Amino acid sequence: MARRPTKEELKREQALQYVANDPKRPTGERWITMSNALTRAGHGLTLAEKRIVMMAVSKLDSTKAPRNPMEPPITKITAAEYAEECGLDMHTAYDQLKSAAKNLYHRSIMFYEPAHKRNGKPITPPATVMRWVGQATYHKDEAWVELHWWPALLKHLLGLKRQFTSYQLQQASALRSIYSWKMLELLMRFESTGWAEYTIEDFAASMDATEKQRADFAKLRTKIIEPAIKELIEKDGWLIEWNPIKAGRRVKAVRFEFSRASRQIGNWKELDWVDEFAQDD
């Protein structure tokens, strides 16, 4: 009986066979790959901006390090490919690309470090704010946008060997909620284990929750968690169960147990295994 491949072997095979900028590869079949740190960060994007940025990420080859970190790559997205992948009419696609070119320069990623304690007392973890792009150009007549990636962000998108999250663009492009997309990313980070647990503070930060949602778990549940899970179940074939973890009367964390339909990677079919793999940091 053939030995079952490890998670890392599957990812390596995927990387060897995957050419991000292959013109013959349908847009939706491209893979989005980013570091786990970027996966759990707050992305600060609208749904339209998320679609455009992640479509651009899917055109990068995450296995190759940048030739010159001070000369970041430039990625072009056309209105035609954007409209086709997201099921939009061309007019809407034009408007969203134009808006993205105008606003993406001002969008920030918020990286949160794991919480620490000193002498038994919690310490507020440091946070790093970073741009997505250093420049965005929109060509009205030819209907495309070019994103010039922020140099410091490249280590989270290129030359990735370990501690990264990957999923196909087509898994997320049909979603109609930014929270559903982010939930997908947070679960895919632990796809091999079939479960994930986040403190309320980390989960709310990753979801870019509002101050009112962070202060009231009922709002976090009804506005973010439940709608996101519902959409992932209906549109991407997930099976998800979740539970709040309490400390006294206060909810301190959320735990998700999940699986997805099997999918093909290279010559191997990856099933919804829940096995010995440990969660990545």
Predicted confidence at residue 4, as pLDDT, reads 65
Cα end-to-end span (Å), the chain: 32
Predicted confidence at residue 16, as pLDDT, reads 47
User: CA 42, 105, 130: angle at the middle one, nearest 5?
Assistant: 40
Predicted confidence at residue 90, as pLDDT, reads 94
Which residues constitute the domain of residue 208?
Answer: 177-281
Counted domains in the chain: 2
Residue of 281, 28, 49 whose CA lies nearest to 165: 281
Please check whether residues 189 and 279 belong to one and the same domain: yes
Q: Is the pTM of this model over 0.95?
A: no
The domain boundary residue, chosen from 150, 174, 198: 174
Predicted confidence at residue 17, as pLDDT, reads 53
Q: What is the pLDDT of residues 93-106, one digit of tens each?
A: 999 999 998 999 99
Q: What is the pLDDT of residues 37-91, one digit of tens each?
A: 999 999 999 999 999 999 999 999 999 998 887 889 999 999 999 999 999 999 9
Please check whether residues 29 and 49 belong to one and the same domain: yes
Phi, psi angles (nearest 5°) of residue 254? -130, 140
- The answer to whether 111 touches 41, Cβ cutoff 8 Å, is yes
What CATH number does residue 94 fall under? 1.10.10.10
Please check whether residues 91 and 125 belong to one and the same domain: yes
Instruction: Kindly state the DSSP code that residue 19 receives in the 8-state scheme.
Output: -
- The answer to whether 173 touches 51, Cβ cutoff 8 Å, is yes
Which residues in the chain show pLDDT less than 50?
16, 23, 263-281
Residue of 207, 205, 202 whose CA lies nearest to 184: 207
Please check whether residues 87 and 130 belong to one and the same domain: yes
Predicted confidence at residue 126, as pLDDT, reads 78
